[in-house]
Structure 1
């Protein structure tokens, strides 16, 4: 735990330094005794501005209104498959997709789930997560892919695949894209899988890490 009176800028520098050394926001928060929101704030400020000092109070006007911020939040909650650009277009907002993405990040933090498949633990993937500290990566056991709800989503795509008719890589890609668009219009399906996580984890505990029905 980081204690005592320290210079605020020095503390922010430690946050950035620990992040660049590969530590997660949760680890930095615990070691320095600051909130994860504070960690995210100064990592993002450093990446966007290269500056760890306090901003001046006056600045350019905010690009979105409170009502628009609420509409952005509601659109993201209504469709988990959506993205910042789609929200911008759907709501006909007079701002860029990047601005909408910032509003989403300001309103909540994202917890990303992926298993420990080698392609997920590769250096390029880990670097991407370090460059996007607003997305927190959930700790995951080495053997736990059956706990990941995305496996069920992939299953929906695979189960509708007809190898006899879709034999080429191009046909397979077209099939995957077509089925993904269908799933995008079924947010309740995704929500159902996400809400099953407590049951999934309980089964893992009961099976002592063994195979579950999921």
Structure 2
């Protein structure tokens, strides 16, 4: 994916989501990692034009990214299957199925753990943590 594709995704996905949420775009704070397409001049200009604030985010910070922990949850769920998938399509179907079965409590626990994870990253001065 390049910067142009990323901006297209933001336009087609993020803007409608913000609008649907009822939160004014100017009151939105968006979190993303420091992938080059996210920090590109094109993406920065897009956020500026939309009036969306981008949260400052440390580089290489998977401990602070809840989606990384959701993927770990999916991996654990996939490991409970008795049989190996027979190919990429079956794997995709299993991942999609497990994703759809994630309980709200799992997401809420990840959100609730953010202050602890943030403290751990600060204490480690951006280094590795137990998370």
Same structural fold, with TM-score higher than 0.5 when normalized by the shorter chain: yes
- Report matched runs for 1:8-27 at 5 Å: none
Q: Which has the higher contact order (CA 8 A, sep 6+)?
A: 2
Cα separation, 2, equivalents of 1:107 and 1:199: 29
Identify unmatched segments of 5+ residues in structure 2. 1-15
Match of 1:182 in 2: 101
Moved more, 193-202 or 101-110: 101-110
| Residue 29 (structure 2) aligns with | 111
* Other-structure match for 1:146: 63
Could you say what the CA RMSD is over the residues aligned between the two structures, in angstroms? 3.4
Q: Distance in 1 between matches of 2:49 and 2:90?
A: 34
The answer (yes or no) to whether the contact 1:146–1:212 under 8 Å persists in 2 is yes
Q: Give the alignment's TM-score, normalised by structure 2.
A: 0.65
Cα 1:206–1:119 change in 2 (3 A) is same
Q: CA deviation at 1:212?
A: 0.6
Structure 1 residue 105: Cα displacement: 2.2
Alignment: residue pair count = 114
Supply the distance in 2 between the matched residues of 1:201 and 1:187 (Cα, whole angstroms).
22
Structure 1: which 5+ residue stretches go unaligned? 1-97
> What TM-score, normalized by structure 1, do the two folds share?
0.43
